[in-house]
Structure 1
Amino acid sequence: MGELHLGKDFLTAVRERRSMYALSKASPISDERILQLVTDAVKYTPSAFNSQSTRIVVLLLEQHERLWELTTDILKTIVPSDQFEQTQQRMDGFKNAYGTVLFFEDQSVIEELQRNFALYQDRFPVWSQHTSAMHQFVIWTALESEGLGASLQHYNPLIDKKVKDTWNLSESWQLVAQMPFGTPVASPAEKEFTSLEHRIRVFK
């Protein structure tokens, strides 16, 4: 796919990355460019024991809409109808975006590592989540660098089976998060930061 060049330098994209909920069904970059960002992120983001356990599904346009329609249908079965209006608005907001990145961790990889390195078997599921989190951050920041907004959602495990059945995914893939993305149509609220002197310690 060629060498990847982001639209912003890395730290600028890190500073400007926010949870964006007001998104339009448009993208300032091509689908090929989106796939390049995701592909490079999956290839170069580190993983525990170089496990490469992260699996990604990119849903665009109609397939993206399908995800949020099935999520809405599932939520209707558990959220009381007189309280569903707010949930419906949230689902409509996600559906109005351009696409969604689904993040999975392949449990067959984790189980093999547990067999091969029994001393650390209780740690591999934790490290798997670390691996997924790094992929989430890299992809989110890469999308931000190209003018796209995104947020991170967690409707798993409610939607896991339906997602696997709909897109014919391996049973060993465990859904971790969903990232709807699109062109931002509103600015996020000002973010507050707690004192950094309580969060960072330096020793020389």
Structure 2
Amino acid sequence: MRTDFYTAIEKRRSYYALGKEAVTSDTRIQEVVEHAVKHVPSAFNSQSTRVCILLGSQHDTLWEMTTNILKETVGPDADFTATQQRMDGFKAAYGTILFFEDEEVVKQLQERFPLYADNFPLWSEQTSGMHQFAIWTGLEAEGYGASLQHYNPLIDVAVAQKWAIPNTWKLRAQMPFGNPLAEPNEKTFQPLDTRVKIYK
């Protein structure tokens, strides 16, 4: 169930009610991710973004791990009900995309181009955001819903140990995705004439 580019951008929303039904093949999910990683731009063509796709039991493990870490963080006396519901919702999804930035790439660019050294970390974040948007929209075009989560740095060490992540990869975001089970909340928009200026 593919959609055109502009419709995919419009429909790309934060979906929280997700299921484990396969909307497309795992091979197609990999193709969507790899296409974005290959073609999304980066400053100085640094190609610093790294991605890990978690499916099946690996996806479940991530959210069980995250749940346990959060419970330890807040302590036994905290009301964990709302957070548990959120974790259960993410685990109920089909898979998760983990987004990383390779800090070694950034460091090398800083050394090669010292005049721009302060900007390379910022540019790294920008390319990470573009990859997140491209993959999110690509999954939407295939019929999946997704949301973007940020449980880093709390889960960084556990993730790195579990999936043998190189120590130069810095976790930036987690994107659970699955077949949408409910529509997202209504989205409001600020007037475009306050956000876009055109000069001719």
- After TM superposition, the score normalised by the length of structure 2 is 0.98
1:155 aligns with 2:165: no
Q: Which residue does the alignment assign to 1:63?
A: 58
1:92 aligns with 2:118: no
Letter in 2 for 1:17: R
Q: Matched residues in 1 for 2:85 and 2:12: separation?
A: 23
Letter in 2 for 1:76: K
Q: Which residue does the alignment assign to 1:111?
A: 107
Q: How far did residue 9 of structure 1 move?
A: 1.2
- Within 5 A, what are the aligned runs for 1:105-144? 105-144=101-140
Q: How far did residue 82 of structure 1 move?
A: 3.5
Q: How far did residue 51 of structure 1 move?
A: 0.2
Identify which of 4, 8, 23 aligns with 2:3. Answer: 8
Q: Matched residues in 2 for 1:16 and 1:168: separation?
A: 34
1:191 aligns with 2:187: yes
Q: How far did residue 122 of structure 1 move?
A: 0.5
Q: Matched residues in 2 for 1:45 and 1:147: separation?
A: 21
Q: Which residue does the alignment assign to 2:12?
A: 17
- After TM superposition, the score normalised by the length of structure 1 is 0.96
Q: How far did residue 78 of structure 1 move?
A: 1.7
Q: Matched residues in 1 for 2:82 and 2:126: separation?
A: 32
Identify which of 24, 27, 36 aligns with 2:22. Answer: 27
Letter in 2 for 1:137: F
1:50 aligns with 2:45: yes
5+ residue gaps, structure 1 = 1-5
Q: How far did residue 182 of structure 1 move?
A: 0.2
1:146 aligns with 2:134: no
DSSP-derived class of the 2:187 partner? coil
Q: Matched residues in 2 for 1:59 and 1:161: separation?
A: 17
Count matched residues. Answer: 199
Q: Matched residues in 2 for 1:79 and 1:46: separation?
A: 39
Q: How far did residue 83 of structure 1 move?
A: 1.5
Q: Matched residues in 1 for 2:62 and 2:137: separation?
A: 23
Q: Matched residues in 1 for 2:21 and 2:190: separation?
A: 35
Identity of aligned residues (%): 58
Deviations 1:132-164 (A, max 9, x none): 000000000000001000000000000001000
5+ residue gaps, structure 2 = none
Q: Matched residues in 2 for 1:82 and 1:46: separation?
A: 43
Q: Matched residues in 2 for 1:202 and 1:39: separation?
A: 35
Q: Matched residues in 1 for 2:161 and 2:31: separation?
A: 26
Q: How far did residue 7 of structure 1 move?
A: 1.4
Q: Matched residues in 1 for 2:79 and 2:66: separation?
A: 16
Q: Matched residues in 1 for 2:69 and 2:63: separation?
A: 10
Deviations 1:72-100 (A, max 9, x none): 01000122444211110000000000000
DSSP-derived class of the 1:12 partner? helix
Q: How far did residue 56 of structure 1 move?
A: 0.2
Q: Matched residues in 2 for 1:156 and 1:26: separation?
A: 27
